[in-house]
């Protein structure tokens, strides 16, 4: 959902807007699915899930951005 909203195919490695849109959509859709299947959405779970998905979905994009800037220099 986030990929489509951000038109991720245009800039797939971009931190913003692609990465942020995918991250937010992942959290929202994931928590809605957990809620729909009665698996619970405790605040602590949401925080940990948000941090881990941020690390995994945004972290590599940030590293790619830094690597790209260093190679230009």
Q: Sort 66 into a burial class: Cβ within 10 Å, 0-12 / 13-18 / 19+.
A: exposed
Q: Quick one: average pLDDT of 3-9?
A: 90
Looking at residue 71, its pLDDT comes to: 77
Looking at residue 12, its pLDDT comes to: 87
- Work out the pLDDT band at 73, boundaries 50, 70, 90: low
Closest residue by Cα to residue 4 from 28, 30, 25, 27: 25
Looking at residue 69, its pLDDT comes to: 83
Q: How far is residue 40's CA from residue 65's CA, in Å, rounded to a whole number?
A: 36
Residues 8-36 pLDDT 10s: 899 988 888 999 999 999 999 999 999 99
């Amino acid at each position: 959902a986030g990929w489509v909203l951000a038109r991720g195919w245009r800039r797939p490695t971009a931190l913003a807007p692609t990465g942020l849109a995918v991250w937010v959509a992942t959290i929202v859709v994931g928590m809605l699915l957990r809620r729909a299947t009665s698996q619970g959405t405790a605040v602590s779970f949401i925080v940990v899930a948000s941090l881990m998905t941020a690390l995994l979905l945004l972290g590599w994009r940030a590293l790619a951005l830094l690597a790209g800037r260093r190679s230009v220099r």
